[in-house]
Amino acid sequence: MSLLALEEVVVSEGRVVILAELKGLKEHEETIENNLKIRIKKIKKRGFYKPIIADKQTNVILDGHHKWNAAKEFGLSKVPTIFVDYFNDSGVQVNVWPECGKDSITKEEVIEMGLSGNVFPPKTSKHSFDFEIPSLSIPLEKLRDG
Protein backbone atom coordinates (compact mmCIF):
# COMPACT_ATOMS: atom_id res chain seq x y z
CA MET A 1 0.00 0.00 0.00
CA SER A 2 1.47 3.38 -0.87
CA LEU A 3 1.22 6.01 1.83
CA LEU A 4 1.58 9.78 1.53
CA ALA A 5 2.19 11.93 4.60
CA LEU A 6 -0.05 14.91 5.21
CA GLU A 7 1.69 18.16 6.06
CA GLU A 8 1.75 19.02 9.75
CA VAL A 9 -0.95 16.60 10.90
CA VAL A 10 0.38 14.66 13.84
CA VAL A 11 -1.72 13.22 16.64
CA SER A 12 -0.64 13.04 20.27
CA GLU A 13 1.70 10.23 21.26
CA GLY A 14 3.32 10.22 17.83
CA ARG A 15 0.29 9.00 15.88
CA VAL A 16 0.33 10.38 12.36
CA VAL A 17 -2.52 10.86 9.92
CA ILE A 18 -1.48 9.68 6.46
CA LEU A 19 -3.23 9.39 3.13
CA ALA A 20 -3.78 5.70 2.50
CA GLU A 21 -5.02 4.12 -0.71
CA LEU A 22 -8.74 3.52 -0.36
CA LYS A 23 -8.62 0.20 -2.23
CA GLY A 24 -6.00 -1.19 0.17
CA LEU A 25 -8.21 -0.90 3.25
CA LYS A 26 -10.47 -3.79 4.26
CA GLU A 27 -13.87 -3.68 5.94
CA HIS A 28 -14.90 -5.98 8.77
CA GLU A 29 -18.39 -4.60 9.41
CA GLU A 30 -21.43 -3.55 7.37
CA THR A 31 -22.71 0.00 7.43
CA ILE A 32 -26.17 1.33 8.19
CA GLU A 33 -27.65 2.85 5.03
CA ASN A 34 -29.17 5.91 6.70
CA ASN A 35 -25.94 6.62 8.62
CA LEU A 36 -24.01 6.34 5.35
CA LYS A 37 -26.30 8.89 3.68
CA ILE A 38 -25.75 11.29 6.58
CA ARG A 39 -21.97 10.78 6.40
CA ILE A 40 -21.99 11.40 2.62
CA LYS A 41 -23.82 14.71 3.10
CA LYS A 42 -21.46 15.78 5.88
CA ILE A 43 -18.31 14.93 3.91
CA LYS A 44 -19.66 16.61 0.78
CA LYS A 45 -20.22 19.80 2.78
CA ARG A 46 -17.10 19.78 5.00
CA GLY A 47 -14.55 17.60 3.23
CA PHE A 48 -12.88 14.78 5.14
CA TYR A 49 -13.09 15.86 8.77
CA LYS A 50 -11.97 12.77 10.74
CA PRO A 51 -9.50 10.03 9.79
CA ILE A 52 -10.21 6.33 9.50
CA ILE A 53 -8.43 4.08 12.03
CA ALA A 54 -6.92 0.84 10.66
CA ASP A 55 -4.56 -1.95 11.69
CA LYS A 56 -1.06 -1.35 10.30
CA GLN A 57 -0.33 -5.05 9.74
CA THR A 58 -3.48 -6.03 7.83
CA ASN A 59 -5.10 -2.73 6.71
CA VAL A 60 -8.37 -3.83 8.34
CA ILE A 61 -10.54 -0.82 9.21
CA LEU A 62 -11.25 -0.59 12.94
CA ASP A 63 -13.20 2.67 12.95
CA GLY A 64 -14.59 4.57 9.97
CA HIS A 65 -16.56 2.12 7.84
CA HIS A 66 -19.13 4.80 6.95
CA LYS A 67 -16.35 7.26 5.99
CA TRP A 68 -14.66 4.57 3.87
CA ASN A 69 -17.90 3.77 2.05
CA ALA A 70 -18.61 7.49 1.56
CA ALA A 71 -15.13 7.87 0.04
CA LYS A 72 -15.98 5.07 -2.41
CA GLU A 73 -19.20 6.90 -3.35
CA PHE A 74 -17.18 10.06 -4.06
CA GLY A 75 -14.67 8.13 -6.17
CA LEU A 76 -11.75 9.04 -3.91
CA SER A 77 -8.47 7.19 -4.26
CA LYS A 78 -7.03 8.14 -0.87
CA VAL A 79 -8.42 8.59 2.65
CA PRO A 80 -6.87 10.11 5.77
CA THR A 81 -5.96 7.21 8.05
CA ILE A 82 -4.26 6.55 11.36
CA PHE A 83 -2.63 3.13 11.43
CA VAL A 84 -2.29 1.42 14.82
CA ASP A 85 -0.52 -1.70 16.05
CA TYR A 86 -3.83 -3.41 16.85
CA PHE A 87 -2.55 -6.52 18.64
CA ASN A 88 0.26 -4.85 20.59
CA ASP A 89 -1.30 -1.48 21.49
CA SER A 90 -3.11 -1.78 24.82
CA GLY A 91 -4.68 1.63 24.16
CA VAL A 92 -6.82 0.11 21.40
CA GLN A 93 -9.70 -1.91 22.82
CA VAL A 94 -12.65 -3.72 21.25
CA ASN A 95 -16.00 -4.57 22.80
CA VAL A 96 -19.43 -5.35 21.40
CA TRP A 97 -22.34 -2.98 21.04
CA PRO A 98 -25.33 -3.78 23.26
CA GLU A 99 -28.00 -5.81 21.49
CA CYS A 100 -25.63 -6.88 18.67
CA GLY A 101 -26.25 -10.57 19.28
CA LYS A 102 -22.74 -11.35 20.56
CA ASP A 103 -21.57 -11.42 24.16
CA SER A 104 -17.98 -10.55 23.29
CA ILE A 105 -15.57 -10.09 20.41
CA THR A 106 -11.79 -10.38 20.13
CA LYS A 107 -9.24 -8.50 18.09
CA GLU A 108 -8.49 -11.79 16.32
CA GLU A 109 -12.13 -12.13 15.26
CA VAL A 110 -12.15 -8.58 13.89
CA ILE A 111 -9.01 -9.16 11.81
CA GLU A 112 -10.14 -12.61 10.62
CA MET A 113 -13.42 -11.13 9.41
CA GLY A 114 -11.66 -8.25 7.64
CA LEU A 115 -9.30 -10.62 5.86
CA SER A 116 -12.05 -13.09 4.94
CA GLY A 117 -13.89 -10.76 2.59
CA ASN A 118 -17.01 -11.12 4.75
CA VAL A 119 -18.36 -8.59 7.26
CA PHE A 120 -20.07 -8.57 10.63
CA PRO A 121 -23.53 -6.98 10.84
CA PRO A 122 -23.55 -3.22 11.55
CA LYS A 123 -22.70 -2.12 15.08
CA THR A 124 -21.08 -5.39 16.16
CA SER A 125 -17.63 -4.18 17.20
CA LYS A 126 -17.10 -1.03 19.24
CA HIS A 127 -13.51 0.19 19.34
CA SER A 128 -12.09 2.63 21.85
CA PHE A 129 -8.77 4.45 21.64
CA ASP A 130 -6.61 6.08 24.29
CA PHE A 131 -5.68 8.91 21.94
CA GLU A 132 -7.63 11.82 20.55
CA ILE A 133 -8.79 11.42 16.96
CA PRO A 134 -7.97 14.77 15.35
CA SER A 135 -10.35 16.97 13.43
CA LEU A 136 -9.33 17.57 9.82
CA SER A 137 -10.44 19.71 6.92
CA ILE A 138 -9.32 18.03 3.70
CA PRO A 139 -11.11 18.99 0.47
CA LEU A 140 -12.26 15.99 -1.56
CA GLU A 141 -10.23 17.13 -4.59
CA LYS A 142 -7.01 16.44 -2.65
CA LEU A 143 -8.10 12.82 -2.18
CA ARG A 144 -8.64 12.04 -5.86
CA ASP A 145 -6.05 10.87 -8.37
CA GLY A 146 -4.79 13.47 -10.78
Query: Which residues are paired to 3 by β-bridges?
Result: 20
Question: Cα-atom radius of gyration of the chain, to the nearest Å?
Answer: 15
Measuring CA to CA, how many Å separate 1 from each of 4, 22, 35, 43, 70?
Answer: 10, 9, 28, 24, 20
SS3 category, 26: strand
Asked whether the beta carbons of 11 and 131 are under 8 A apart, the reply is: yes
Q: Is 8 a catalytic residue?
A: no
**Which candidate in 7, 13, 27, 29 is catalytic?**
29
> Letter for the amino acid at 36?
L
Please list the active-site residues: 29
